[in-house]
Structure 1
């Protein structure tokens, strides 16, 4: 095919692979690429009929401008899927796959002159890992060379509370994914905090949730870009205050339930029980700074009822309240 093209013969050569294993088709992709055509995969009769129809219907157009797209990871060729998109219409202008063979990687995609966005996604890597090359202008006769490097980078997340190392859960999500591609805890040890993750280079959402503060407040980092062989650092500084609530009656400890509501939302953020032991009465709570309504309901002795009070809790301070029934 290549020799015929070099002889000046004008034709487009499509290839249909029927019932082939995925790893066997890179050479066929290479033939289609050399012939300026497309490779169509068919695993059954319906696929074959559709592929033949597409091959016949695909316009025969020879372009003299190209995108040359290479996929790599740690210096090795990587199988990636490539789409060339017209940003004005959102339609695909060209598409292909590099596989991990030098015959098709880099992948040469002929396109008419214009402005494009090139989207490259890693086929075999965990998560929805992709690269986007925006604002790519191609003139007649140009070959735009792009390399999508999916080598891993590092993400470090440090967590503090009131200036001290703090325990939190950390989840890392790829775009459009509900399951985390990486997760862990920071703990309160310098050995683990900041917590480090080795990630395939790409764009992620990072969610950090406090383990130590009632309500498990979280901080989200959107569009965190992890670059190949580089480290991106994120820090979260939580603030909290301490609230202790005791219950007594006539000098004796009272077993009471304590429910804490955030104001002005009236959302319940924590609850506990004092019991009748000095080890748990007063009951301690770690809360975000803010305003709260606290309901204390006596269980033992019976018939003491409940009391309510409001307070404002400053960051880094402790507020104590003994409720007398």
Structure 2
């Protein structure tokens, strides 16, 4: 795993010195799933991939260790069909070529399990390696390759992962995510020529020979934080490099020139990202530490002191678009925002009336601050029933209007079921006009009554016709 060094050149020199001592193993994770029998042109993927990989491996230096794993080559429906064929100390290129050509594509595509088995071996042997995963499809078992790779980086396993997608027609976002998490590249090889070129490039950019010249480390309130990074030409909109820090130092390969670097923190935060300009010469290595401050707001909503569902929204001083929002679902939710002064609105989802919306203004939050806010909505209960003199339930519409605002606050129908007649409404305190209009066999009645709702009280009105 890359250490958190403030000076990128130290890391670069250390890795270069390591490369001069002995090359780290190249670990090939090879696709032998059943889909490799599909044809590209006049030949199967199995044959084309084996030939391209054989040509690449044959050009390795004599002292280059080459390990080989395969998946999907023994059992049709077994997601655990992953096998080490040649270990991390193997230097025989002939054995690699022989093993690849002898594989019989059969089963599934357990990408995450294959990667986990490889990474476990690196951890156990305390070795560094360049992993090259060759696949003609996406995960077909229950694994999450990107998460597997990210967790391995966080656990301190030292590796670089390249992924070569051979003739893949599905969505490749998960594969790209995994390659990004592994500090490598995703190569989209739609034909055998592109496959050969991808393998050449992947085997040149190894953990021993980093092409990265920009390192970025991100913190939040003084602690490492995961963050997205995108590098754009100063006058362009198409990124030339990108990656994630995974609470570590992200290493990026950036060409010479002037660029804008966008850094956006992750990990369930609403704090804004930042941008800065850099200029890189051809032989320069550059490091930046990006520090973010954040404040936390814990929000809870209650009705008459009892937990309830509600929404809290955090607005900037000009009341433009909210910078964060959270729904409490009868519990406590935490929002994380940039330091500053905000207005916070609370909306009660289990009450009706003008008082279901409230605003707390000019809340100042400093970096590192943690503010707890419990907002209580006062409410009373209105019960409306409609029936005949003999007790037969009557279907009717009910509309509850705020008398002062002349706005409809609640409404429904009573129907003729004891479960809905009478109807119950939780309302914030105030004066209301309630209009009842009968339907069906008892239609023709239209009546408006006035009620006053007080906190923690119940007003019951049973109308008879």
Q: TM-score, normalised by structure 2?
A: 0.37
1:155 aligns with 2:297: yes
Higher relative contact order (CA 8 A, sep 6+): 1
Residue 205 of structure 1: aligned partner: 343
Out of 283, 293, 312, the residue aligned to residue 170 of structure 1 is 312
1:240 aligns with 2:387: no
Q: 1:171–1:183: 8 Å Cα contact kept in structure 2?
A: yes
Q: 2:263–2:273: 8 Å Cα contact kept in structure 1?
A: no
3-state SS of 1:264 partner = coil
Shift of 1:154: 0.9
3-state SS of 2:342 partner = strand
3-state SS of 1:301 partner = helix
Q: Please give the alpha-carbon distance, in whole angstroms, between the structure 2 residues aligned to 1:303 and 1:165.
A: 40
Q: Which runs of structure 2 are paired with 1:71-220 in the superposition (5 Å)?
A: 74-75=221-222, 150-176=292-318, 178-188=320-330, 192-193=331-332, 195-215=333-353, 217-220=356-359
Higher helix share: 2
Residue 311 of structure 1: aligned partner: 451
Q: Which runs of structure 2 are paired with 1:24-103 in the superposition (5 Å)?
A: 74-75=221-222
Q: Quick one: structure 1 residues 151 and 318, their matched pair in 2 at CA, closer, same or farther if it must change by over 3 Å?
A: same
Q: Which runs of structure 2 are paired with 1:237-316 in the superposition (5 Å)?
A: 237-251=376-390, 252-316=392-456
Q: Please give the alpha-carbon distance, in whole angstroms, between the structure 1 residues aligned to 2:299 and 2:389.
A: 50
Q: 1:154–1:230: 8 Å Cα contact kept in structure 2?
A: yes
- Post-superposition CA distance 1:158-182 (Å, at most 9, x none): 2211111121111122344643322
Q: Please give the alpha-carbon distance, in whole angstroms, between the structure 2 residues aligned to 1:165 and 1:223.
A: 25
Q: Please give the alpha-carbon distance, in whole angstroms, between the structure 2 residues aligned to 1:296 and 1:276.
A: 14
Q: Please give the alpha-carbon distance, in whole angstroms, between the structure 2 residues aligned to 1:284 and 1:168.
A: 19
Q: Quick one: structure 1 residues 303 and 237, their matched pair in 2 at CA, closer, same or farther if it must change by over 3 Å?
A: closer
3-state SS of 1:320 partner = strand
Q: Quick one: structure 1 residues 219 and 303, their matched pair in 2 at CA, closer, same or farther if it must change by over 3 Å?
A: closer
Residue 321 of structure 1: aligned partner: 461
Q: 2:271–2:337: 8 Å Cα contact kept in structure 1?
A: no
Higher strand share: 1
Q: 1:168–1:208: 8 Å Cα contact kept in structure 2?
A: yes
Q: TM-score, normalised by structure 1?
A: 0.52
- Structure 1 stretches of 5 or more lacking a match? 1-71, 77-122, 131-148
RMSD (Å), alpha carbons:
3.2
Q: Please give the alpha-carbon distance, in whole angstroms, between the structure 1 residues aligned to 2:377 and 2:442.
A: 40
Q: 2:395–2:439: 8 Å Cα contact kept in structure 1?
A: yes
Q: Please give the alpha-carbon distance, in whole angstroms, between the structure 2 residues aligned to 1:220 and 1:129.
A: 27
- Structure 2 stretches of 5 or more lacking a match? 1-218, 224-261, 265-269, 275-290
- Post-superposition CA distance 1:13-71 (Å, at most 9, x none): xxxxxxxxxxxxxxxxxxxxxxxxxxxxxxxxxxxxxxxxxxxxxxxxxxxxxxxxxxx
